[in-house]
Amino acid sequence: MKDEYDFRQGKRGAVLPQHGKTRITIYIDDEVLEAFRQRAEQHGTGYQTMVNQALREYLALSPPHLDEATLRRVLREELQEVRGGSKAPATSPAFQGTAPESAG
């Protein structure tokens, strides 16, 4: 063993980096954490694995994010229906360039 070590070129972090997972610190209610720990022990798995799986299942059941293009398409369809199927362009500047072209 050396008397001194040179850490000037050293890097912080794990010696073996994890790929596909990120270490975080979060606050979870004590009751929730205890419930996950108990269930994990009953199933012979880690509670963090169970929390990760629960979050994945929640995301799978949640509706996807509504992007701007989809929102604009739905609004155009609804406006057209409210106008009685008319394809007249919208007069609001917010809708310029987004309304269906009228047959001219």
Question: Which residues, at least 6 apart from 54, have a Cβ–Cβ distance to it below 8 Å?
Answer: 36
- The answer to whether 103 and 86 are in contact (CB under 8 A) is no
Radius of gyration in angstroms for the set of CA atoms belonging to the chain, rounded to a whole number: 27
Q: How far is CA 34 from CA 23, 48, 53, 97, in A?
A: 20, 12, 16, 55
Query: What pTM was estimated for this model as a whole?
Result: 0.49
Between CA 102 and CA 104 the distance in angstroms is 6
CA 70, distance to chain mean position in Å, is 18
In whole angstroms, give the CA distance from residue 29 to residue 31.
5
- pLDDT tens per residue across all 104 residues of the chain: 888 999 888 888 777 777 888 889 999 999 999 999 999 999 999 999 999 999 999 999 988 788 899 899 999 999 999 988 655 555 544 544 544 554 44
